Structure 1
Amino acid sequence: MKGASLSPGDYVYFKSRVPLHKISVGAKQWRYYDFGPKDVPPLICIPGIAGTADVFYKQIMFLSMKGYRVISIDIPCIWNHHEWIHAFEKFLDAINVHHVHLYGTSLGGFLSQLFAQHRPRRVKSLVLSNTFLDTHKFSAAMPWSSVVSWSPSFLLKRYILSGIHDGPHEPFIADSVDFVVGQVEALSRDDLASRLTLNANAVAVGALFLSDSFITIMDTNDYCAIPQQLKDQVSERYPGARRAILKTGGDFPFLSRPDEVNLHLQACRR
């Protein structure tokens, strides 16, 4: 597996058009993109452990042209799930956003569900991709989670990247892996440690007040780092959710299958 040595042309164009915002809210530093009309509730994209605000650049560029406001965030250094709920709410208040649509993948999907559970009046819809309902399996698989905050950066990166399938891939999936690997390389030790801690703290999503009709489950049918059993639990929890199954796409369909992902994201907002 190699890091992305050259940025894709469409990403270079994106960086030239869409400014990166940075804001301090209390002790948290938020890094995010915010593009599209400001008079509609935004779609907020929340990445997994290996993701950054940049991984959703294909959604930002396409959906903003269709009249959607898209906000893509980095998960800041947050170490437990209660802290996440309060910090994310304060972030929304700081950027003057009340109602949101959430698109979360992997850890981001789990955090999206937790926020919807505890702040139901703020969440209009959920799109959950390759995600899970509780973290007990990850907690059991990571017995060293109590010392993760003291672990060196290279070990944390190695652990995260070991969960990303290293080929052989179709070229479009290989490109998506390379892009995300490049994003992981740019993350700080605290970023990596806090995300792994969030993923390993044993917590489960409780009942949501949001109707299943406002939930979309968008999963890939090929290789994914999230075990199929955990993805099946999500489908069983929300039997009335809209299903959007992609035949291929790997762990990062928003990069490898952006046209299909973007169509499903538009459909869930109608």
Structure 2
Amino acid sequence: MATRDLVAERDRFATLHPEARHVVHRRDWGVIRAGQNGPALLLIPGTLGRADIFWQQIVALSGEARILSVSYPASGGIPDWADDLAQLIAEAGLQGATVLGSSLGGYLAQYLTAIRPELCGGLVAANTLASVQGIDQVPPYSLDLMATPIDTLRAGFETGLQGWCANDHRYRDLAALLLREVRGRIPEGELRARLQALKTAPDLPAQCLPQNRIFTVESDDDHLIHPQMRAGLKAALNPARTFRFRAASHFPYVTGPEAYTALLREVLGLPSGGTYWTDGEESLS
């Protein structure tokens, strides 16, 4: 990771593929669309990412898949956003899309595929959780997220990332990328809405998708999704396959882009492209 300038890479992509604005039910979404042919894929980021956080997968797959990647609006919550995304899928003609969500996006993806299975062809619940029970007891969710000064909320994220900023740290360049998001690339209203959405999220409905179209992704060194939460997700979803990263952080789509793209190829039924997952060390299936 230390040999890459992830901020520069992402910024080049963002210049070529800026977010378009799409208002659904009076909520203003950012969207990036790519690809004209192939299976449909919806990408939903976590709390610290915009639509372009998946730039490496979008570039790699845009010639073979129809991709819609989104940034959250500054209002609404999980049920509202699921309704919005269902409309976005329908309007874009992406019925049958595989829905990949990471972290916060993984919870939203589970909710969306549960309530609108007729629109969704698969679920990839990545580096996420199956229950928010008790989350309102831990920072920052224990705070009044609408009233706490935004600088206090941003400082909490910065403190968590400071340990990654050392020159010899494996995720130094990832920390630089995420700090850009924390320090204003994600506007105040959007950041508050993301935090509040998870704090107030309803319980997840039961999944109706076929079991062979449900997948999970996890990282052994994910500092936010601890082993008990990973086990809970798999118990709740009974996925056809879990893609396991040994060392990729909470953001394996950034830190392990080739492997992440390869798992998406497998889920979408695309040719492996030279990189593929085996049934061995990096898979729990």
The question of a shared fold, defined as TM-score above 0.5 by the shorter chain, is answered with: yes
Report deviation, 1:79.
Answer: 3.3
Deviation of 1:260 (Å): 0.6
The answer on whether the counterparts of 2:215 and 2:239 sit within 8 Å (CA) in structure 1 is no
**Structure 1 residue 12: Cα displacement:** 4.1
The residue identity in structure 1 corresponding to 2:266 is A
Partner SS for 1:148: coil
The answer to whether the aligner puts 1:119 opposite 2:126 as a matched pair is no
* Per-residue Cα deviation, 1:52-88 (whole angstroms, up to 9, x for no partner): 11211111101113x1122211111233322122222
Instruction: Tell me: CA distance 1:118–1:208, structure 2 relative to 1, closer, same or farther (3 Å).
Output: same
Corresponding residue number in structure 1 for 2:209: 210
Query: Quick one: distance in 2 between partners of 1:106 and 1:15?
Result: 22
Q: Which residue of 1 aligns with 2:47?
A: 49
Matches within 5 A, 1:19-30: 19-30=18-29
TM-score under structure 1 length normalisation: 0.88
Report the 3-state secondary structure (helix = DSSP H, G, I; strand = E; otherwise coil) of the residue aligned with 1:149.
coil
> Are the counterparts in 2 of residues 139 and 199 from structure 1 also a CA contact under 8 Å?
no
1:100-145 CA-partner distances (Å, limit 9, x unpaired): 1111111100000000111111110111211001111312225975
Q: Any conservation in 1 of the 2:45–2:51 contact (CA below 8 Å)?
A: yes
CA RMSD of aligned residues (A): 2.3
Change (3 A) 1:15 1:143: closer
Between 85-94 and 219-228, report the one with greater CA deviation: 85-94
- The question of 1:266 aligning with 2:271 is answered no
Structure 2 gap segments, 5+ residues each: 270-285
**The residue matched to 1:91 in structure 2 has which SS?**
helix
Is the 2:34–2:66 Cα contact (8 Å) retained in structure 1? Answer: yes
Shift of 1:93: 3.5
Report the alpha carbon displacement of residue 9 of structure 1 after superposing the two structures with TM: 4.4
Distance in 2, Cα, partners of 1:74 & 1:53: 5
- Contact 2:86/2:119 (8 A) holds in 1: no
**Equivalent AA in structure 2 for residue 242 of structure 1:** R
Q: TM-score by structure 2 length?
A: 0.83
Aligned to 1:130: 127
Structure 2 CA distance for partners of 1:143 and 1:45, relative to 1, 3 Å: closer
Going from structure 1 to structure 2, the CA distance change for 1:192 and 1:223 (only over 3 Å counts) comes to same
C-alpha contact 1:104 1:110 (8 A) present in aligned 2: yes
1:184 aligns with 2:145: no
Size of the aligned set, in residue pairs, is: 263
1:249 shift after superposition: 0.6
Q: Relative to 1, partners in 2 of residues 1:191 and 1:145: Cα closer, same or farther, differing over 3 Å?
A: farther
1:154 is matched with 151
Extract unaligned runs of 5+ from structure 1.
1-5
Distance 1:19 1:51, change over 3 A: closer
In the TM superposition, what whole-angstrom CA distance separates every residue of 1:162-196 from its partner, at most 9, and x where no partner exists? 45573368766321222122122212221111111
Q: Give the distance between the partners of 1:164 and 1:123, measured in 2 at CA.
A: 35
The letter for the 2-side match of 1:139 is D
Going from structure 1 to structure 2, the CA distance change for 1:68 and 1:223 (only over 3 Å counts) comes to: same
Find the aligned partners of 1:97 and 1:162 in 2 and give their Cα distance.
Answer: 40
